[in-house]
Structure 1
Amino acid sequence: MESINPATGQRLDSYETHDADDIDTALGTAQSAFVDWRSQSMAHRQTLLEKTAQLLEERVDEYAELMTHEMGKPIEQARAEVRKCAWVCEYYAETAAEQLQDELIESDSDARTLVSYDPLGPILAIMPWNFPFWQAFRFIAPNLAAGNVGLLKHASNVPGCALAIEEVLQDAGMPEGVFQTLLISSSEVDDIISDDRVAGVTLTGSEGAGRAVGQRAGQQLKPSVLELGGSDPFVVLDDAPIEATAKRGAFARLQNTGQSCIAAKRFIVHDAIYDDFVEAFVDEVEALTVGDPTDEDTDIGPMARPDLRDDLDDQIDRTLEAGAELLTGGEAVDGEGAYYQPTVLTEVPRDSAAATEETFGPVASVIRVSDETEAIDVANDTDFGLGASVWTSDLDRGEVFARQFEAGLCFVNELVKSDPRLPFGGVKNSGYGRELSRHGIREFVNAKTIWVQHGLGEDDTSDDSYAGVE
């Protein structure tokens, strides 16, 4: 498995992949580790998460540089990603005990009834390259806190990041087998999901990968969480502050070089301010610096792989052929690296590639609408349902509008983002299940009902006392 710098096309390193025997050993180690890990006190597990957070903070520059070299993330954004991983570890170190404490539920007056939340076992995480540390840690922190153990199948272009994640957890004192990285191909995933030693699976990735993983998990009657693609609407109402909204919109679309599931992708703009917004938006996009991702002044780096750049270029060409207009960008950058010009398309037809497919790179599609009714219709006219945002000077109006979005993450006057304190996930073809917050930590646990009867008398065993019992 090779690591290639997308800014230069040069090989960074090569890594020995794991074979069938290695996988079998890892699964056995995970199963054994789970028996001990689940019996450890919550306080102990939380202490190790706190230590992990400390190490991440100490190694911000080291891990940021690794990300930047392996997948091209601008360096300051890479540092922010490592710090966010520390945050999610700190969050569950502080909150996991409360989120998983026994829940008393009132039932019969002569019984004590409750729900306990018990870990399931080894969980397989299949993670993407675009946020190589964050995507993994938003799985790791809640699941290790809950008493599960993790197996990571990371994207094949970030093997260095995958091993660094394993390293920092080991250095924090996590016992052997509590978290392991598997350097394997996607073709080996089905057999791992089917293995009796794996209790569940989570995937962040494409719709196609999600369907395959969800199908296999369903066949094995194992729980799964899928966070798939998005084509997030960014709705600009007629009373939105144009300059401020355009500035936020440019960042919402182009952070991480546009390679984000929750990036704003379809800009749906009220006709009354359409021309003014487009002018301000293009100015903001053209002001961003494209360049070497290790340079502190770079806003937009290379795309992660040349083939991804080619796919984006094809989507733009098909959208232009369908009748859209090109205002800026629209071409690959000459020279080394998988760079693509930041691109703005306007008058984008609703049935064109950029409006119906996920565009995973630095291109924004702008669609004109006549009123709020048409705006929400266009916003929801997609197979995806991950995130959505609306921009307005009237917060009450914004909230009423946001409640109409068919999406899992709905924001008013803020770009769509993940936050450890709030559930994260989508609907429709964007997947199911939730990560983060108390919702995420309860995805891979057994919500166990416990009934403790206070007394057992003659009346309790009468035929009448069991009338209607299933």
Structure 2
Amino acid sequence: MLTVVQGEGAAGAAVVDEVDMVMFTGSTATGRRVAEQAARRLIPCSLELGGKDAMIVCEDADLHRAARAAAFYALQNAGQICMSIERVYVEEPVHDSFVGHLVEQVRSLRQGHGGAGEVEVGAMTTAAQLELVSGHVQDALARGAVAVTGGRRGPGPGRFFEPTVLTGVDHSMLCMTEETFGPTIPVMAVGNREEAVRLANDSPYGLAASVFTSDARAGEALARRLEVGSVVINDALIFFGAPYLPMGGWKQSGIGVRHRIEGLHKYTRPQSIVVGRDWPVRDPHWFPYRPSVSRTLRQVLRLSARR
């Protein structure tokens, strides 16, 4: 039986007070409250929370593909996907070239109301989200960043914010440290891939990341050092379409995993049942203890441990 309950925070809190297990998808702040309420009842919970997914572009990457991937995975659904690319670190020698390709892609996108195939970028879901996105961009511009394209609310009716590419960003800015959940792509130049890994890990979030390089082995080595639940080499987010892979965030991006057998087992409660049959009246290891029996049992345990 499936029961659908609609409502806001109070409805969600009431549900947590009644169920045996909670699977929550949403913001880190709300997820923390869900976990606290579940802990008071001593029921399990699995949390799929926010992210600040990093993309690392190495000097040897295919910049055309990397730029197209950044535009798609950062701006899909107007950036309102928890696993969207939210910050990009590019090695200095190819930074300007990458930004040029990215801006070309972003400027070609259509935004507004429309059906399938008519527009690429839509609107913000709520007025509050529009304010948050605008606030992150204004904070970056005030601290010295440059909006190479976009940077403003969209014209006309609707909760639109222009697809935006920001350069000259750093970790003093909200757009690089807090979840934006909007159509922005902040791009930061780094001296080398070591700095890129350090900055990518400099975050309370750990949902996913991507690495673009022509050296797959080097990409895998970088991926293993990233403090996130999923990493894709020369693509992004496609792990979501692989149900045989566990998907879950680290740090403040969540608890537990989705997909694979672990994702199903979390909805179950294991129970062990042992049936004894044809046993003697008293087992050898029961009371009363006898020295001879204890020595025999000790030898049996030692032999079992050697096997």
The reply to whether TM is greater than 0.5 is: yes
Secondary structure, counterpart of 2:152 in structure 1: coil
Q: Distance in 1 between matches of 2:8 and 2:129?
A: 19
Could you tell me how far apart the structure 1 residues matched to 2:273 and 2:237 are? 39
Contact 1:323 / 1:349 at 8 angstroms: preserved in 2?
Answer: no
Partners of 2:229 and 2:96 in 1: CA distance: 30
Partner of 2:301 in structure 1?
none
Equivalent residue for 1:388, pick from 204, 209, 212: 209
Query: Which amino acid in 2 is paired with 1:284?
Result: Q
Residue 462 of structure 1 aligns with an amino acid whose one-letter code is: W
| Residue 245 (structure 1) shift | 1.1
Paired with 1:233 and 1:239, the residues of 2 have a C-alpha distance of 18
Are residues 1:322 and 2:146 paired? no
Flag the structure with higher helix content: 1
Residue 443 of structure 1 pairs with residue 266 of structure 2: yes
Give the structure 1 partner of residue 63 of structure 2. Answer: 242
Partner of 2:222: 401
Partner of 1:364: 185
| Aligned CA-pair RMSD | 1.9
Corresponding position: 1:212 with 2:33 = yes
Unaligned runs of 5+ in 1: 1-177
Secondary structure of the residue aligned to 1:344 is strand
Distance in 2 between the 1:216 and 1:371 partners? Answer: 44
Report matched runs for 1:43-442 at 5 Å: 178-195=1-18, 198-417=19-238, 418-419=240-241, 420-442=243-265
- Give the C-alpha shift of residue 184 in structure 1: 2.1
For structure 1, which segment, 233-242 or 289-298, has the greater mean C-alpha deviation from structure 2 after superposition? 289-298
1:296 offset after TM fit, Å? Answer: 2.0
TM-score (norm 1): 0.59
**Could you list the runs of 5+ residues in structure 2 that have no partner in the other structure?**
299-307
Deviations 1:82-114 (A, max 9, x none): xxxxxxxxxxxxxxxxxxxxxxxxxxxxxxxxx
Q: Distance in 2 between matches of 1:217 and 1:304?
A: 28
- Paired with 1:190 and 1:333, the residues of 2 have a C-alpha distance of 36
Aligned AA (2:181): F
Asked if 1:462 is matched to 2:300, the reply is no
Q: Displacement of 1:384 after TM fit?
A: 0.4
CA distance in 2, matches of 1:207, 1:290: 29
- Give the drift of 1:452: 4.8
Equivalent residue number for residue 23 of structure 1: none
> 2-side partners of 1:307 and 1:353: how far apart?
16
For the 8 Å contact 1:223–1:444, the answer to whether it is kept is no
In structure 1, the residue corresponding to 2:266 is in which secondary structure?
A: coil
CA contact (8 A) 1:302 1:340 kept: yes
Partner residue, 2:304? none
* Same amino acid, percent of matched pairs: 33
> TM (normalized to structure 2)?
0.89
Contact 1:270 1:370 in 2 (8 A): yes
Q: Is the 8 A contact 1:327 1:346 kept in 2?
A: yes
